[in-house]
Amino acid sequence: MFPGETRARMRRAGRREVRREWERLQGNPYRRLLFALRAKYLREAITATPLVNRTFLELGPGPGRFTGVLGEQTRTLLLVDLSPKMLGEARRRIAPGSPAVVHAIVADAARLPVRSGRVGAAVALGNLVGFVEEELDWVLGEMTRVLAPGGLLVVEAVDGAVAGPRWVSPPSPSRLREALSLPTLEGSMKRLLCEGWTEAPSPSANGRSPHHFPATELRRRFLQLGLQVTAPRWVAPLTGSLPDLVNEVGRDPVLFQRMLALEETAGRDPGSSRSRGPYLLTAISRASGGTSDGPSRGGHRT
């Protein structure tokens, strides 16, 4: 799945690397904003899908950023990662007293040791698909294969390959505070985007940046696998590229909640911001189950 050196490094990840990865995802308002949006979208996708099978699969959980969220929704959770240390840390994120039974599996996402039709939901957050390179079709094929009929697929990627809007003149902290303090979200959006926000070509000379995957391309691959695809949900399309600004203004808890609501509104309606950046794409396997035509290299089955 990953290049050989990357795969080996992930397998060797020790306690220090696990702790560094967890700290990278924790703490400041910017990181909390991104987490809150992803967690909300994930919960909403699960709640909106009438899942009969409540066994869930999380691919590449890392230190368990979203493992606790999934543990709230299921009684059986399969965690698949290349790093035993990461898996150990992810298991710790299940709330004490939770009825969820967690199975930690050291394996490659392109070779899932999971039976076909075994899980009701398969989740891959953290832009896993942006790093699997030439084995993306294998990974998506494996995720589809293990889904039960009517199962849910949730994948995060980063769309940096298309022309889209960006801040030519980012808002100042005072301007952002002013916009967030207006009485309606519509007014906040208009005030924030009235200047300094413009259409611009991708910075990538060849139209595609490393590890970026256009939402239109991922949707096309989902459709090829016979999945029913929903619209993407964008993660912080307005302030996602402005971490310093978010950290300064987001220290105010009232403004932070307002920023969260504003980004959620923009993320639901790509037309309002013509989004680019991180997004979650969800799909449902058809009643007859995931396609059996895709590639599969799984080993033994759990």
Q: What are the domain boundaries of the chain?
A: 4-163+205-240+273-285
pLDDT per residue over 163-206, tens digit each?
456 677 788 999 999 999 999 999 998 888 876 666 555 454 44
* Distance between first and last Cα of the chain: 20
pLDDT string in tens for the chain (302-residue length): 445 554 444 444 455 665 665 565 566 899 999 999 999 999 999 999 999 899 999 999 988 989 999 999 999 999 999 989 999 999 999 988 888 999 999 999 889 999 999 999 999 998 788 777 678 889 999 999 999 999 999 999 988 654 456 677 788 999 999 999 999 999 998 888 876 666 555 454 444 555 777 888 899 999 999 999 998 999 998 888 899 999 999 999 999 999 999 999 989 875 544 556 889 999 999 765 444 444 445 554 66
Predicted confidence at residue 165, as pLDDT, reads 60
Give pLDDT, residue 287. Answer: 60
CB 225 within 8 A of CB 140: yes
C-alpha to C-alpha distance for 72 and 53, rounded to whole angstroms: 15
pLDDT at 289 (0 to 100): 44
* pLDDT score recorded for residue 7: 47
Q: Which pLDDT does position 166 carry in this prediction?
A: 66
Fold of 4-163+205-240+273-285: Rossmann fold (3.40.50)
Q: Check residue 215 and give its pLDDT.
A: 86
> What are all long-range contacts of 171-180, with beta carbons under 8 Å and residues at least 24 apart?
171/196, 171/242, 171/245, 173/245, 173/248, 173/249, 176/239, 176/245, 176/249, 177/249, 177/252, 177/255, 180/249, 180/255, 180/258, 180/259, 180/262
